[in-house]
Amino acid sequence: MLEELEEFASIPLDDVREISDRLKADRERAMRKWNYFFKEQYKKRQAKFYCKVFLQWYVKKLGRWEVSLGLAEYEWKREVTSAITLTEAWKRLVVEAHSTILFWKRKEDRVNRRQWVLSFT
């Protein structure tokens, strides 16, 4: 009986859906950026402030060098160029946190699992 319960506890919760490899990679990249930002940049401020500053940092720093037809050989091209792109990046980050970090918290603390839910609305 105990083995069956342990096996049941090891099965993922129903709230985690299958996703494509590309979307999973995007979410993981957003989470790595989030972790880098908090570990390296800011450590002791309010959560709302953190989120605003992170998104500003994310918009400025996320990009790539592209070949240019102008005077410069390459130019920096931002990946986030609109509010919709930023909203999607934030959504990916929220979903990734919900399905990884908070998933394990919900699993550990089944009595208070609703406390460990994060959603995007």
For 5-40, write each residue's pLDDT tens digit.
Answer: 666 666 655 555 677 888 888 888 888 877 776 666
| 66 part of a folded domain | yes
Q: What is the pTM of this model?
A: 0.53
CB crowding 66-81: b at 16 or more within 10 Å, else e: eeeeeeeeeeeeeebe
Kindly indicate the confidence band of residue 46, based on its pLDDT and cuts at 50, 70 and 90. Answer: low
Q: How many domains does the chain have?
A: 1
Kindly indicate the confidence band of residue 104, based on its pLDDT and cuts at 50, 70 and 90. Answer: confident
Smallest CA-to-CA distance from 107 within 24, 15, 20 is with 15
| 63 part of a folded domain | yes
| 7 part of a folded domain | no
Q: In which residue are the tokens 């394990």 written? A: 104
Q: Mean pLDDT across the chain, nearest whole number?
A: 77
| 5 part of a folded domain | no
| 6 part of a folded domain | no
| 10 part of a folded domain | no
Residues spanned by the domain of 82: 21-116
